[in-house]
């Protein structure tokens, strides 16, 4: 599988998200999914301290086990776990990283990301604490998530001791293209890698949701049907992909990985089969004409 750079880290262009671990997938299931990912050439594993009620990190660390050195581990801090574990205050940053290291069963975190901006704490203070844990060898690179272009500029200007964000992780997919307005251009200007989450738009881009067909039971959107405009748009994307011998899933991944600013597309999985399908979907590099056709199909978000 192709690899790209996030700072000094070399990561597979398809990654594995750990948001299902500890919630929809137990420890044994996590081990199966992680092993399948490694066997497919996926080396980038993204989780967060609050996923699965803090079990995701624990399950991921155990699943990697002796194969830890084959993996690039990314995790996040800052989203509320409980009233005493939240935010980006320097004191909490130093505690949070130790909590994550213990749960992951490792001596270093490859990419440590602030999960969302903390308006109560100056970013300069947070960056100071992050620079300290990098110097101590607990973290190799730092990144952020859910940051705007203005917040990226502010953070880069406030970088401490040469330690700066090397990545930003925001929502981005064929149906949600807001980052193209300002965040992606800012990433290009600052040399920051972009990591899209929700690459399949909560399942809308898997091909399971089709016009004129009932919404599958037990899926994420079984309780809220997409609009008819959205379903027509998906149908047009399905037709486009199939006319070129591909699936909608392959289009969703290929469209993202064709963008050189996208370092790795992280997708969750609940089974080895899902991992294998995701990994196999990484091979379509869209031509300029194909990208233009996708733009023509796309309608304003509803």
Residue 10 DSSP class: E
- Angle, alpha carbons 252-36-49 (nearest 5°): 75
In this structure, are residues 266 and 46 in contact, taking their beta carbons and an 8 Å threshold?
Answer: yes
> What's the rounded Cα separation, in Å, for the pair 141 and 167?
9
In this structure, are residues 259 and 4 in contact, taking their beta carbons and an 8 Å threshold?
Answer: no
In this structure, are residues 56 and 21 in contact, taking their beta carbons and an 8 Å threshold?
Answer: yes
Residue 78's CB is within 10 A of a number of other CB atoms, namely: 27
In this structure, are residues 15 and 267 in contact, taking their beta carbons and an 8 Å threshold?
Answer: yes
> What's the rounded Cα separation, in Å, for the pair 48 and 56?
7
Q: Is residue 51 among the annotated active site residues?
A: yes
Rounded to whole angstroms, what are the CA distances from 144 to 98, 155, 196? 18, 10, 12
Q: Which of 51, 172, 198, 209 is catalytic?
A: 51
Nearest one of 14, 17, 68 to 279, comparing CA atoms: 14
Rounded to whole angstroms, what are the CA distances from 54 to 33, 59, 184? 18, 9, 31
In this structure, are residues 26 and 52 in contact, taking their beta carbons and an 8 Å threshold?
Answer: no
Residue 207 DSSP class: T
> What's the rounded Cα separation, in Å, for the pair 251 and 154?
34
In this structure, are residues 114 and 88 in contact, taking their beta carbons and an 8 Å threshold?
Answer: yes
Strands, DSSP E only, in 115-256? 139-145, 165-171, 193-197
Give the residue numbers marked as catalytic. Answer: 51
């Amino acid at each position: 599988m192709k690899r790209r750079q996030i700072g000094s880290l070399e990561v597979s262009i398809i990654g594995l998200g750990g948001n299902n671990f500890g919630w929809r997938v137990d420890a044994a299931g996590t081990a199966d999914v992680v092993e399948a990912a490694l066997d497919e050439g996926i080396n980038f594993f993204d989780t967060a301290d609050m996923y699965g009620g803090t079990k995701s990190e624990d399950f991921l660390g155990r699943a990697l086990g002796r194969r830890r050195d084959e993996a690039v581990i990314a995790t996040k801090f800052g989203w509320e776990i409980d009233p005493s574990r939240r935010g980006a205050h320097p004191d909490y940053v130093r505690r949070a990283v130790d909590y994550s290291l213990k749960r992951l069963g490792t001596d270093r975190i490859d990419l440590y990301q602030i999960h969302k901006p903390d308006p109560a704490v100056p970013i300069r203070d947070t960056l100071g604490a992050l620079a300290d844990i990098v110097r101590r060898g607990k973290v190799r690179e730092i990144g952020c998530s859910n940051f705007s272009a203005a917040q990226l500029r502010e953070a880069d200007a406030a970088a401490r001791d040469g330690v700066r964000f090397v990545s930003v992780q925001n929502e981005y997919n064929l149906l949600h293209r807001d980052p193209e307005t300002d965040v992606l251009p800012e990433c290009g200007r600052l040399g920051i890698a972009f990591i899209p989450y929700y690459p399949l738009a909560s399942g809308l881009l898997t091909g399971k949701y089709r016009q004129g067909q009932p919404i599958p039971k037990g899926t994420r959107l079984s309780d809220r049907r997409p609009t008819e405009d959205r379903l027509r748009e998906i149908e047009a994307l399905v037709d486009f992909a199939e006319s070129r011998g591909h699936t909608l899933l392959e289009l969703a991944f290929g469209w993202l990985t064709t963008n050189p600013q996208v370092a790795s597309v992280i997708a969750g999985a609940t089974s080895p089969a899902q991992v294998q399908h995701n990994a196999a979907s990484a091979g379509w590099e869209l031509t300029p004409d194909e990208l233009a056709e996708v733009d023509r199909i796309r309608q304003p978000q509803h």
